[in-house]
Amino acid sequence: MRKSIKVGLSAALAMAITAGAGMAENIKIAFIDPLSGPFATTGTNGSAEWNFAAEELVNKQGGVLDGDMFEIVSYDNKMSGKESLVQLQVAIDQGIRFIAQGNSSGIAGAITEAVKKHNRRNPDDRVLFLNYSAVDPALTNDNCNFWHFRFDANADIKMDALTDVMAKDENMKKVYLIGQDYSFGKAVAAAAVRDLGKKRPDVEIVGNELHPIGKVKDFTPYARKIVASDADAVITGNWGSDMVGLGKAIIDAGFEGPVYTYYAASNGITRTFGEDGKGSIFLVGEGAINPIASDRAAAYVEGFEAKYPDHDISQPRIANAVEMLAKAINEAGTSTDVVKVAYALEGMKHDSIWGGTVFMRPQDHQAIQNVYIQEHTDGVQFPLDNSEFGMNAASTVVDAAMDSPTTCKMDKP
Amino acid sequence: MDLFIVNIIDGLVFGLLLFMLSSGLTLIFSMMGVLNFAHASFYMLGAYFAYQISTVLGLGFIGGLIVAPVIVGVAGAAIERYGLRRVHKYGHVPELIFTFGLALLIQEVVKLFWGQNQVPYFEPHWLDFALFSIGENAIEAYKVAMIGISMLIFGGLLYVLTKTRVGMIIQAALSYPNTVEALGHNVPMVFMGVFGVGTALAGVAGVIAGPALGTFPGMAFTLGSIVFVTIVVGGLGSLWGALMSSLLIGWITTFAAAYNFEFKTILLAIGLEEPAVAWESKLGDLWTLTLPQIGPILPYLLMVVVLVFRPQGLMGRREA
């Protein structure tokens, strides 16, 4: 008796599975980012944003081509380069042709190399790499290739936009640079020195230092140095608890000028700064959700917050990436010949849901878009971290770094 | 000069915080011979409990300051009574593994209940203002309160250990546990009490450090190893030693982070020529190294030096 129930159940299950597979052809996108370990919050937040964007912006609009649906398949890379390459191979073996990854430029560098090799050796099942967050400029310069597309503004573009805005402040005479002691921290400092030197040679860099990453227990001595240096503004590329610790110590030490950051929002950071961060914490980034660009964007954010109350739209570019991929697939008329899709994506001008246009520069596959200097404040329409506080765009640089040079020389098939 | 005084105060705050952690650990270590790897985890629990009590339950900062350490202490005593004591008879290695596992367990439990992100646990409003300024540097009232609370605890601990009967028994049990037991004292009970009070002290440290240094799942890990350095430098079982080494380490790390001394100046002073490209020189990174960059390893260097020249620690009576 028991046995027959089991057999019946498995038969029904098998039928259900085959029926499901037969109904619609899904276009799968492999999402490879940390879903466990210390960086899991960032990874799970990104996964939620990809899933929501695919569902809302593509599937509910009827899919692409003849009703093909997007499906996000998540792989946990545990924030390790080695593990990422294993997961990449698993995804490719399962026939997935679109790879999305963003956390850590080191891992993005490993993936872009692996994709390049794979595509050279397997011309019949090539894949595309959609980099939605890794901002190391090298990925679209010396290490660029035809298969890699970056939807975020890279670190140099962000610094260019930030210094454009800072340069207008006549009262700013002294700037302090502080960052984590590794490649990204150094890149931010170097870009700041270069850009400020060009735009405001009269501004003095009164401090340029790197602190051990993740090892500083108390940031107070650093904050004291910043106050003592008489700096008018601080620039930092810090993220995670190093960002919170540094920001809090600077404000507590009585520093009154602006602190310009890359990553001081969401994932608990906005909530932690709270009232103290008002008027002090600024962030440079693409895509601002306050003020919201349109009713469509507002409905999108509301829908996301309703579906994922514990997450935020912290990476608005993901919506652009999904919409642009859908457009490119439609234009190419295929989702399997990624060379055609890549050519459709190249040079695409896309009206972003967040306002402005996104232009995928053909020579280096770097997205050129509006970059916003956003201010940590309260009373915004869409706050972050389930708190009263959020980021509000204070100034906009339209199509930031459109004519910036690139050293990219890519071989196109 | 202003900055020097400010750094003295900041170092004092951090040193006293370390003292609250190390005072409990040094008593536990010297009495039971257990290197309690989970000690900093109790510090983290103190911060999280205080956050829960003061913010979510609405009892305010004082409520958290009083209730959270008690809960942490009771939990610590229970873990000693029902966990450590059972493992004790198998020797030191199983004890070590037990406390190590406990640290991992507490870390995961904290993540499970409060998530990966930093929780919004702040200084109370009535202490969140600049009490006075030296130069342009504001000294927060909360920092002064931290100093006050730590001083009070040090005084109380010193009084109990040296002036009361309980303190006498603890001191005796530290050096001659068998004799004390033969005299009719319940030594396991004393052990449990010391473990409970030690973890409660770590809890207090967590309650007051949470708002200042941040309350997040990595907070135990960042402070854990430095606490062991403190008790080894200070000398096992010595309260004064723990105080001295805590302050020493507090000032060392603060001053190291505060002054951008470049090692280049030494190399130039001894007559070496600066290479055009630093990493091509034999001395490599030494040319670009600054004092703040090596700040975090200075306490470990201090420990090595102390172990070489004074293995029993600054104030300790027996060898580590």
**pLDDT averaged over chain B?**
88
**What pLDDT is recorded for position B145?**
93
**What pLDDT is recorded for position A19?**
44
Torsion of CA A265, A266, A271, A273, to 10 degrees: -20
Nearest neighbour of A254 by CB, restricted to B138, B254, B295: B138
Q: Do A224 and B255 touch (CB under 8 A)?
A: no
**What pLDDT is recorded for position B245?**
95
Q: Which stretches in chain B have pLDDT values below 70?
A: 276-282, 284, 318-320
Q: Do A218 and B295 touch (CB under 8 A)?
A: no
Q: Do B10 and A216 touch (CB under 8 A)?
A: no
**What pLDDT is recorded for position A20?**
43
Nearest to A249 by CA among B248, B257, B116: B257
Which of A41, A178, A218 best probes binding to B when mutated, by most B CB atoms within 10 angstroms?
A218
Nearest neighbour of A218 by CB, restricted to B3, B213, B255: B213
How many helices and strands in chain B, by DSSP H and E? Answer: 14, 2
Preceding peptide of A137 cis, ω within 30°:
no
| Token representation of residue A296 | 């469509």
Q: Concatenate the DSSP letters of all residues of A103-136 into one string.
A: S-HHHHHHHHHHHHHHHHH-TTS--EEEESS---
Q: Are B38 and B99 in contact (CB under 8 A)?
A: yes
Place of tokens 């049990």: B173
Q: Are A320 and A73 in contact (CB under 8 A)?
A: no
Nearest to B11 by CA among B236, B214, B298, B316: B298
Report how far residue A201's alpha carbon sits from residue B22's, in angstroms, rounded to the nearest whole number: 50
* DSSP one-letter code for A153: P
Count the neighbouring beta carbons within 10 Å of the beta carbon of residue B163.
10
**What pLDDT is recorded for position A179?**
92
**What pLDDT is recorded for position B272?**
77
Nearest to A343 by CA among A332, A352, A353, A334: A332
Can you say how many angstroms the Cα of residue B20 is from the centroid of all Cα atoms in its chain? 6
Residue of B nearest to A224 (CA): B137
Residues B14-44, buried b or exposed e (16+ Cβ, 10 A)? Answer: bbbbbbbbbbbbbbbbbbbebbbbbbbbbbb
Can you say how many angstroms the Cα of residue B46 is from the centroid of all Cα atoms in its chain? 13
Residue A119 half-sphere exposure, CB side, CA atoms within 13 Å? 24
Count the neighbouring beta carbons within 10 Å of the beta carbon of residue B184.
6
ipTM > 0.90 for the complex? no
Which residues, 6+ apart, have CB-to-CB distance to A279 below 8 Å? A258, A375, A377
Report how far residue B35's alpha carbon sits from residue B100's, in angstroms, rounded to the nearest whole number: 9
Q: Do A252 and B2 touch (CB under 8 A)?
A: no
Q: Which stretches in chain A have pLDDT values below 50?
A: 1, 15-22
Nearest to A322 by CA among A134, A61, A104, A110: A61
**What pLDDT is recorded for position B298?**
92
Q: Which residues of B touch A212 (CB under 8 A)?
A: 293, 295-296
**What pLDDT is recorded for position A17?**
47
Look up residue B84 and give its amino acid.
L
Residue B57 half-sphere exposure, CB side, CA atoms within 13 Å? 14
Q: Do B226 and A217 touch (CB under 8 A)?
A: yes
How do residues B18-35 score in pLDDT, each as one tens digit?
Answer: 999 999 898 888 777 788
Look up residue B229 and give its amino acid.
V
Q: How many pairs of residues across A and B have Cβ atoms under 8 Å apart?
A: 104
How do residues B148-198 score in pLDDT, each as one tens digit?
Answer: 999 999 899 889 988 999 889 888 887 787 888 899 888 889 889 999 999
For chain B, the farthest-separated pair of C-alpha atoms sits apart, in whole angstroms, at 74
| Token representation of residue A23 | 């109904």
Which residues, 6+ apart, have CB-to-CB distance to B98 below 8 Å? B83, B84, B87
**What pLDDT is recorded for position A22?**
43
Residue of A nearest to B115 (CA): A41
Q: Which residues of B touch A248 (CB under 8 A)?
A: 214
CA angle B284, A81, A189 (to 5 degrees): 45
**DSSP-derived 3-state class of residue A266:** coil
Report how far residue B70's alpha carbon sits from residue B196's, in angstroms, rounded to the nearest whole number: 9
3-state SS of chain A: helix, strand, coil percent to 5? 40, 20, 35
Query: What is the C-alpha radius of gyration for chain B, rounded to an integer number of angstroms?
Result: 21
Instruction: State the burial class of residue B64 (Cβ atoms within 10 Å of its Cβ: 0-12, 13-18, 19+).
Output: buried
